[in-house]
Structure 1
């Protein structure tokens, strides 16, 4: 079968599930859908989807079933119903959760005779079906390769490896980047507002700074992977003095200093452990510890 002949099933028709099913339909796939509230399928049915009366019926219709529901508990509740037969099915779970839940669900599903891929959607519903939508996948590579041409309808695909927990871990790692960048920008914006500089004026400079820091990542990653942190640019002790300046300036102009104090507390612990002459990525040792260890 070519990719547009492959029948797919989508279980769960929230905004994201509807977008996933819509992308398959647009690509020409025979698409079966199921949702607890059948009316959420009305627009998809009008576009050519088939609404299955039960999950069991929906599973039987697709060569590949995509699951996008509230959480992993809901996945197991739905698939564990007495009238659901998983033996021989191939499932891709795009439900949000943590890595332990993903691995447990993989075990639970495969014990019932199904092939299982886990994934994460790094996109908002309107971008599904475009190159802007990045979909992470993990699980057996052979199963991913078998269905890749079908899954191409959803956006830009990324296969991470056989570990079923990797997509969830990449998901939260991406969120850590997002919130860290945004919080740093808000800190800087709050500082500059005290001098009458508005956020729109600061944003281009902040964007330039963020892009510059992003260029450091490959080199810093090499240091982390080699567990060697020569101070090629700046020593951690020098960075800690700059952090103290940021804290002092924030407090002087009446801006919250909690975030830079957190940075400096971690740097101070690393310096106390003898790493003051090494480069900033040596802080990976602090990030790798539970708080207080």
Structure 2
């Protein structure tokens, strides 16, 4: 089944033409419980991983001490074929994105540590097994196997809105909210959920890493969030196909609602997210990452 985000309930650029130049396209992945194979785009599914290439491991140490005992296999988070991600700039000669992470707390802010791999799907002629997650790994850091329903959507900045524009538009945002009930931040700007491109789904203030090689600010590659939507954003971002069973504040936390909201079974901090960035100016596409939560 496809997933279709409803059109924005208001014409964003007509009401706020100042945000038009900041328009971006994102790919909402819409993970839902399923049984993806290693050939499919997926969240938490098996990977198209070459049998002759060692599975990536985490050694267990970081700047803040040992976070787990001994080498630990990374767990699959996202696999996306280029055909399912129109507009996302894949490296030349690569048509498959694979993101994994160590399912244990790392760093000062305690979050799973991601890795990014790009490859050519056709070059994988012999596929190795995807190892099971470590038995002691926190369940909320290991996504359930999910099929995905990639969908391009248009986004506008919320947390990333330049300060001078926020000051300029604040009164208009408030007026529109009072007149229509729609909040720019939650209902009109950037999409919630697991997504490629567009704007990160910040919970707190934005933090964009700079490339250590060239010094330029990195580009957003992937947001891995705890939820597909929350108690406010569902009103405009919940796909049409899910509205038959989720129609109103009282039901979005129902069993059917949770099947859409929490299909991947992740909980990153207090309903936060891990944001992955890359430098597209450097040939080796170095990556950065950040984590925040409420």
Pair in the same fold by TM > 0.5: no
- Greater RCO, CA 8 A, separation 6+: 2
Instruction: With the length of structure 2 as denominator, give the TM-score of the two structures.
Output: 0.23
Larger radius of gyration: 1
Which structure's residues are more often strand, by fraction? 2
